[in-house]
Amino acid sequence: MRGTGVAIVVSGAIVAGKALPARADGAFPDSQSVITPADRPQEFILPTNFGLVISEDGGQSWQWSCERDANAYGILYQQGPAPRHRLFTVANDKLAFSDDGSCGWQMAGGALADPLVTDVVPDPNDADHVLAIGYLGSIFSVFPSRDGGATFGAALYEAPAGDGIGGVEIARADPRVIYVAMTNAADTRPLLARSGDGGASWAVTDLAPMVGLGIVRIIAVDPQDPNVVLLRLLGANGQSIALTRDGGTTVTTSLAIAGTFTSYVQLASGTRLAGALLDSSTTPALYRSRDGGASFEMVANPPSARALSQRGGLTYAATDNFGDGYALGASDDEGTTWHAVMSYDQVQAIVACVRADPQCQATCQALAGQGAMSPGTIWDPAVCSANPVPEPPSKMGSGGCGCATAAPGSSAVLALVVVLVLGSRRRTS
């Protein structure tokens, strides 16, 4: 559902004995992903379906940046590398980006101005290189940008009529290697296209003889080996994870579930974690692989991970604020145990740059349970009028909400953050 971009709480539901507010589109407040940039070790960005929850002091304090018209109903939030540290989101079927940590948003142009945008992929090594998936005239295409996602050129890859593109990935170890996951609409035959020369030429492999029929998504390309790729297959009887070690020539299934995969991360140790929901999406599950994704074991008692990330030896999970009791959790033992980092009621203020915005004030008050149409609450009403948290010294003088980019030349290693969710327009890699 698409609206005017004003995310107003209009109704509530009972969860664990509490009345919880809903957004204008009927969705209850929930987290989508977690961004933990390696070169900004004190920064957390928690994209939610009601805006961004941000900390710039290692989680000691939290502020909120609301959704506005340009990023209304935003999904697939990602941050590109230095020196831009540009934030991206797919919102209202278009690509929006921010260079000041969400204070202001601009819309991508060029060849991407007309198509409906379904995904965006920043190059992890090059802040100027961005790929996006667009849909126009019944054709899915991959469009390239060489100015950081501000404008896009002619299609780098155009899928054959009847094939839908479910994901695109740039290999961290070799940016000339690009993968495109496709599914034939007529028979749900999964296909994987690979380019080894930056998109000048492509080889397409039919995966059906190896993994069966289903909608295919890219989970991740191994950061050290561009030929190792994890795929997710949405089949008639559930979902599965498949692994290729030769760029897609051969693919084998390593884990199959009667449920939905929700999240994935590869840790610095090489361990891989995949979150899921089982039993008609009522039971959270976590699977761990210590053999490169060839096999997985189930981890007991996990939180409901909407997304997974890693930094500094810790694994982070965007979780179910109401079911788990926290919105962001962390593990120091590769997912065996978890502790709370933050819940929505720890948000202290609206970020300074948008504090006076009428949309932000209206949404903030609704989320605080103010007004006849807002029976629930996720934070104290004082959040809406509180003085913003002071900027850290490293960002003083950058203007706005203290979300400006770091000085050019800083080394950026964007944490591998992968969000896998149901729906044809959700990123799975």
| pLDDT, tens digit, 9 for 90 and up, residues 201-245 | 999 999 999 999 999 999 999 999 999 999 999 998 899 999 999
Tokens, residue 415: 């944490």
- DSSP structural state of residue 404: P
Among 3.30.70.2740, 2.130.10.150, 2.60.40.790, 3.30.428.10, name the CATH number for the domain at 12-419. Answer: 2.130.10.150
Instruction: Write the burial class of residue 177 (CB in 10 Å: 0-12 exposed, 13-18 middle, 19+ buried).
Output: buried
Query: What is the pLDDT at residue 369?
Result: 83
Other beta carbons within 10 angstroms of residue 154's beta carbon come to 10
Up-side HSE of residue 283: CA atoms within 13 Å toward CB? 11
Q: Mean of the pLDDT values across residues 302-329?
A: 97
Q: Is the pLDDT of residue 5 over 70?
A: no
Is the C-alpha dihedral spanning 293, 296, 302, 303 positive or negative?
Answer: positive
Query: What is the pLDDT at residue 377?
Result: 82
CA separation for the pair 371, 365 (Å, rounded)? 8
Residues of the chain above pLDDT 70, percent: 83
Residues 6+ apart with CB under 8 A from 292: 222, 228, 243, 270, 272
CA separation for the pair 93, 263 (Å, rounded)? 23
CA-wise closest residue to 95 among 71, 79, 111, 64: 71
Q: What is the pLDDT of residues 86-124, one digit of tens each?
A: 999 999 999 999 999 999 999 999 999 999 999 999 999
Q: Which residues pair with 257 in a beta bridge?
A: 239
The confidence band for 28, taking pLDDT boundaries of 50, 70 and 90, is confident
Tokens, residue 173: 């170890």
Question: Which range has the worst mean pLDDT, 156-160, 188-192, 361-365?
Answer: 361-365
Query: What is the pLDDT at residue 429?
Result: 36
Query: What is the pLDDT at residue 376?
Result: 59
Chain mean pLDDT for the chain: 85
pTM: 0.85
CA separation for the pair 429, 408 (Å, rounded)? 28
- DSSP structural state of residue 31: B
Question: Is residue 350 within a helix (H) or strand (E), and if so which, with residue range?
Answer: strand 347-350
CA 193, chain centre distance (Å): 23
Q: Is the pLDDT of residue 422 over 60?
A: no
Q: Where are the beta strands (DSSP E) in 37-188?
A: 44-48, 51-55, 62-66, 75-79, 87-91, 94-98, 106-107, 109-110, 116-122, 130-136, 139-145, 151-152, 157-158, 163-170, 178-184
Domain boundaries in the chain?
Answer: 12-419
Other beta carbons within 10 angstroms of residue 323's beta carbon come to 14
Q: Mean of the pLDDT values across residues 275-302?
A: 97
Residues of the chain above pLDDT 90, percent: 79
Q: What is the pLDDT of residues 245-272, one digit of tens each?
A: 999 999 999 999 999 999 999 999 999 9
- DSSP structural state of residue 388: P
CA-wise closest residue to 378 among 102, 75, 7: 7
Q: What is the pLDDT of residues 159-185, one digit of tens each?
A: 999 999 999 999 999 999 999 999 999
